Chains A and B, each alone.
Chain A
Amino acid sequence: MDIRLDAISHSYDDFEVMRDISLDISSGQIVCIVGPSGCGKSTLLRFIGGLERPSRGRVLQLSEPPEGCLNPLTYIFQDFALLPWRSVSGNISLVLDDHGIRGKAAQGIIDDVLARTKLTDFAKALPKQLSGGMKQRVAIARALAVNPAVMLMDEPLSALDSQTRELLMDDLVELWSRQPFTAVYVTHNLAEAVRLGHRVVVLSRRPGQIREVVEIDKPLAEREFGDADLDRAQKHLWQLMRDEARAADAELINV
């Protein structure tokens, strides 16, 4: 399913946060959105999934979601958003229940997504028993369970330590290689962006505008930690962002 952002602008009262953002997201691609803090990248992601409405402009679905897709636009949150009172499999059955999938059918899906995220042994565990990386894998399993057309990932690895982040990036690449999915991946971490993004969209500081779209041609599976091409791309992104980031950092918040 392709998504088009059509001239999106947004302001709170007379405080402009985003100006005229147009972007096409095509199927099977991971689009990373990077930008200095406060540029509205997470807000943009909430527009795409319909959790918030932009002041001007529209988000368009260019085609019908594929058959068997329960929740076309599915989020993965930075803080995992797992229900602490439900076990790992309970957290997944939560999102299936409302689509009328219960009992055996649900169990089948749950077993499948837990196997794909290597969580089979933890089906009965409560979130409090899991490490951060495991929690995020549960959230990824939950997202996979509803068979999304587009995954909306809001800084999914930012709450994790750097080793866990590397491991989860490998997992994401593996998941994508086995079955390419469409994703919009918001992050402030440029290493993640060059590792996972087919395209990297650089936003300027507030009001957020598209500064540049960087294409990275190297196939995901061939990208590795400390790759020279990726380092070059990352350096380029950083040059684009540095001044913006510095200026954004020096701004007063909520004036």
Chain B
Amino acid sequence: MSDMSRGKTVAFRGGGFAPKPQRWIGVFVFVTLILLAEWGTRSGWITALTLPKPSDVFDTFRELYESGLLFKHLGPSLSRLVVGAAIGASVGISVGVLIGLFSYIRSGLVPLVAAIFPIPKIALLPLFVIWFGIGEGSKYALIAFGTFTPTVVATYGAVDNVDRTLIRMGQSFGLSWWSIVRKIVLPGAMPGILSGLRISLAIAIILLVAAEMLGAQYGIGAYILEAGSLYDLERLFAGVVILSLLGVFVSFIIGMIERRLLGWRS
């Protein structure tokens, strides 16, 4: 055993390539960036025209909250977002499942979806105003349309990826077609559908601002657009922060749904 002491330790070369969540690092990055901006704007090497002072943005935000205007803006925006995204996502999931299951629907609709996916939905806003009116209808339509296409693509991809041996198993036990769809295809496609929803709901938030370009007195989007045209950077940033928080919130909700529904994944 004396030979052992003369040996050289084998150099470690494994490990890595497995990122793990680190709790407070995200918060730290945010805080550092904001402090940096605050320091820069205060000391003057970032001019007031380039970036507003974070503390001023915070003051604007507080004013907005104290005057009650925040909820006056947030209310209509949230209802537009919820209604529009719900329509877009549910129609998108249904169409996606149909594309995943039926050859004719697939051949007919996949090129159509590919054709409407790259259309900037904002460009269609005037058209939607004519079709659905200047009121809430056009706003719902724009957000729904924008969420629809990514949801369809994610859903039929997810249905395609459902393990075929599980479907054969269902058939071999004499399960009905509807049972196979409900108990095997849909749960099997759920991981893909949910990760698609993360993207579609982010797009819905982006389109919220576009939807409020025409005929909206209140709403986060209207607030941001007004601040932008007046070059009121504090209010612009306060609005943008609200949208970001909305995005974080939506992502958090989906994360919760994933933990609940997808606990079976190893």
Contacts and interface: CB of A to CB of B under 8 A. Distances in A.
Given A51-B171, A83-B187, A128-B266, A98 B165 contact: no
A85 B188 CA distance: 8
B189 to A, nearest CB: 11
A66 interface: no
Given A75-B169, A94-B183, A95-B173, 7 more contacts: A71-B173, A74-B173, A81-B169, A83-B183, A85-B188, A95-B175, A98-B176
Contacts of A84: 264-266
B62 interface: no
Interface string B154-196: 0000000000011011011111100100011001101000000
Nearest to B183: A94
Nearest to B167: A81
Interface string A76-108: 010101011110000000110111000000000
A126 interface: yes
A214 to B, nearest CB: 28
Most chain-A CB neighbours within 10 Å: which of B166, B171, B172, B188? Answer: B172
B162 to A, nearest CB: 11
Contact of B165 (A81, A85, A146): A81
A254 to B, nearest CB: 19
B168 A85 contact: no
A94 B172 CA distance: 12
Interface string A11-49: 000000000000000000000000000000000000001
Interface of A: 49, 51, 70-71, 73-75, 77, 79, 81, 83-86, 94-95, 97-99, 126-128, 142, 146
B179 A97 contact: yes
Contacts of A142: 173
Nearest to B165: A81
A205 to B, nearest CB: 25
Contact of B168 (A51, A73, A98, A99): A51
A73 B190 CA distance: 30
A23 B4 CA distance: 65
Contacts of B172: 49, 51, 71, 73-75
14 contacts: A51-B168, A51-B172, A74-B173, A75-B172, A77-B169, A81-B165, A83-B183, A83-B188, A85-B188, A85-B264, A98-B179, A126-B263, A142-B173, A146-B173
A98 B174 contact: yes
Most chain-B CB neighbours within 10 Å: which of A79, A81, A142? Answer: A81
B257 to A, nearest CB: 14
Which 7 A-B pairs rank lowest in CB-CB distance, beginning with the nearest?
A81-B169, A128-B266, A85-B264, A95-B173, A75-B172, A84-B264, A98-B175
A165 to B, nearest CB: 20
Nearest to B166: A81
